[in-house]
Structure 1
């Protein structure tokens, strides 16, 4: 059994992960999907990391999976708890001292997004086409009801670690992601992690769109000391 612990993205909650969590639990794994205090203006990245770390019951079996903005929080969790592996799922990758609000400019994101929007024929204001283009319509409608207010507090704080943690880290890139375009993220992974990402079909909301395929991929990252199913 593997313990999968998820770090959600900005303005998100555990509902987004329920199809994936259900799939993994059906396969015999433990799953934790903590809700972060994202609507609390007093909470920053350390408080987010504390909330996630508190849900880890067995670090020797834990794969920590960080989605989107969760990439800023997950390495702080690894500093608190010696998990077996960190998987960055279409996630932002910070540098020491970098505030999340500065990540977009520092990485050249806006140019990459413009190019992606042009390729997709997407109007810049069409957020449904940005996030939910491959999500079943009924799930997309429910997802809109589960959005949460995201405080700006954690975006203004410099990322506090002096270096990336020693935790074995894998980047899982979504090939059809319109928010964090694939070509852009391949470059960022190479520059900031010195690595080549693993890749999977799907957009940014892959846990809703392709839970079974994502579960298959996550099972490939089972810690070597986990008991075989």
Structure 2
């Protein structure tokens, strides 16, 4: 694939700004980027409305590569059901199964049994390797994540027939490498690739993440 449209889906309680450094990298290389704000803080919005937001932002663009961070993994496959997508990339993701409610993800993946350190501080858990000023801005821009509809089953019928890559972070304190490897194997039959860094590589390692995304896109041609 030459010029791609990278559709960047942020995680829970966040905004499209999360991707701004990666967007700058990809645009400088000639690609198109779309990074909408999901209606995270709207109690009336659930996964269908999140999906609508992304689909509307894509419009009639083509050569689409969908990239989803963390909770965005619940939205991304729903987008792939409605838009022609060449590639799906999940970064430090949640990986849903058909009909699974987001609130049930933790129990159904055995998250509590996973060996990991506990962190009460948001920066220590999510942003430990992000420059302090950038981490502070990320917290200031973040929004409260509504839980009102997180108990609803995901409307995903089956994993989309789209080439899928999973990219984990070696220093992720939320989804440790061992946890993500197990979930990706059990749910997708995939072995994740890995990069250095914590849970938010679009802020801590934007250049390296853009390199990975561009390399993934280059591996495939239009279907």
TM class by smaller structure: over 0.9
Cross-structure match for 1:94: 96
List aligned pairs for 1:70-149, cutoff 5 A.
70-112=72-114, 115-117=115-117, 124-149=119-144
Cross-structure match for 1:216: 211
Aligned with 1:116: secondary structure? coil
Answering whether residue 152 of structure 2 is matched by residue 150 of structure 1, we say no
Answering whether residue 170 of structure 2 is matched by residue 168 of structure 1, we say no
Deviations 1:24-62 (A, max 9, x none): 111111000000111111111011011101122455411
Query: Which structure 1 residue ranges, 5 or more long, are not aligned?
Result: 118-122
Q: In the alignment, is the contact (CA less than 8 A) between 1:59 and 1:81 conserved in 2?
A: no
List aligned pairs for 1:15-34, cutoff 5 A.
15-34=17-36
Query: Which structure 2 residue ranges, 5 or more long, are not aligned?
Result: none
Answering whether residue 187 of structure 2 is matched by residue 192 of structure 1, we say yes
What displacement does 1:176 show?
A: 1.0
What displacement does 1:97 show?
A: 1.6
Deviations 1:89-123 (A, max 9, x none): 111011112111010011111232xx321xxxxx5
The answer to which of 99-108 and 146-155 deviates more is 146-155
Measure the CA separation in 2 of the matches of 1:200 and 1:51: 29
| Alignment size in residue pairs | 219
Measure the CA separation in 2 of the matches of 1:184 and 1:143: 25
Aligned with 1:204: secondary structure? coil
How well do the aligned residues superpose, as a CA RMSD in angstroms? 1.4
Aligned with 2:92: secondary structure? strand
Measure the CA separation in 2 of the matches of 1:81 and 1:196: 26
Measure the CA separation in 1 of the matches of 2:191 and 2:63: 24
Q: In the alignment, is the contact (CA less than 8 A) between 1:68 and 1:92 conserved in 2?
A: yes
